[in-house]
Structure 1
């Protein structure tokens, strides 16, 4: 499956594309003073988008995000930096509230007659873009006729914990789901989305209720993609590693907090997570143990099974990056059983903290959803 997806999933390229429709980029930023200036610099360098505007929402930051964004914008008239209060309505996650507010501002300040026209792009502050990234993503949206294109950035890693865990994000769907086939259908359960870089047809986004429709979902990106499919609109996944990258978490502590806030919701229930955990353990621990401890044909079969898992990791990483694997990718792939063990720990911790009502993200408690 990983090989099929490597050959068939669309890659966004940096080839110059011209977009003449209005494009609004929305950036929710909470305590992102260290990240947002680099994103603004990348957005100012975008080409091929003649009607680009950028809205940056300082979502109650305490680290000077507003000032950092304003300075980086440098008086560019395409950029608007907005300060928001820190309060959240009951049942909302912080990111959904910030994105919904940005979409409201985008509609309220659009040119007359174009309130819901054009493309609406949501970007995380830690995403880094090549100069043609926005044009390529919007071009893909219009080429496919989809309501949403999820542009999957290359996930950068700077610590051992990140190297072990971050590649599992892409691998989890690349090794299990025939993406091109799934994207031709409307089944919500097969939607794949990455909230770091989402490109919507603006009219479709508003028609399904936007982020307000998924206000309490901790995985609002997937929830929105599923909402579009339930409404009869197609979603598409595109590998954006050639034009976009991100370092999602910085270090083991940040990664631990980030994953535990949402992994409890990944498979519908604690029983679902447990079932996936059992399958993952049997699939990715039994073969290497057999290769090490068994004899004869069992040992050979175990070795083949382990190498298949390693190959799937490398293919998924190549799909994500749009190029060949790097030395760190090879090391991480060889350590796949350790990655699975790390995932299992994070999943158990996520369920435990959820039951205790202790899940938080960026200083805010997360809504307690019934699953």
Structure 2
């Protein structure tokens, strides 16, 4: 935070009228109203008070920001990646505390840790679970917990990304597919099943994401099928070529792969048109996800208090005294987690 500069006014540089003023009841008021010295001195005092109050307020906010600890949820809109959204959240918090991010990257004495557990595609929206402070240590538990999605699939078109953001790679007829046909095959995709992850994903080959390699035009082989769990799967609506699914699944599951596999099972093809995560663990989109206008230190503090009761006892954070802090020595550690299991469940610091 840049300190507010206090103006210094020398009394010798201020001139007053030399004409005598009669001693009357209104002398003080008249002098205050007409004396440049008095007006200037009052302005300087007011400015000093305002600057001091601002410094105290920012310091208090910085202290409160560093004391935040736990897990809460935000509402991710379509467009930004999960990492980009987390960076936007970080920037808003730093700005509110009076700490531009450039200052935070230079300081290492005290650290604000913030991260997310469970990546959402850039084209998807919904619940994104965020950990702050010591809450980042329990984000891995969010990866294995259940998640719920509402997905709109489009029959008749396949894309390289398995969603509407990709290039169309195949088109097949779908006009003979009925609602009963879709409902009849959903059982095949329920329970403990095997699933091949998309090529455009956060999974890695030789230390690089498959999606990054694909964008570079590199030859990438599909990962082998792996076990995943679908707790429930139902058809909400069918209006050809679109069908809406309600899916509850475990960690490491890809909705894009599910929709693509459903299209193939129906002797056609399909891609994801819209995807919304409505629930992750105990956090729901309607009740717990903070919209961007609520990304303030106070609102997040209230959300952390409210959400603490949602976590299992073994994950609850013990309360500790807030760290003593100064807005001059804050830094930020930016953490993200992939939504995949095994070797991909790692904390990354930027």
Same fold by TM-score, threshold 0.5 exceeded?
no
Which structure dedicates a bigger proportion of its chain to helix?
A: 1
Structure number with larger C-alpha Rg? 2
Greater RCO (CA < 8 Å, at least 6 residues apart): 2
Q: Could you tell me the TM-score, scaled by structure 1's length?
A: 0.22
Which structure dedicates a bigger proportion of its chain to strand?
A: 2
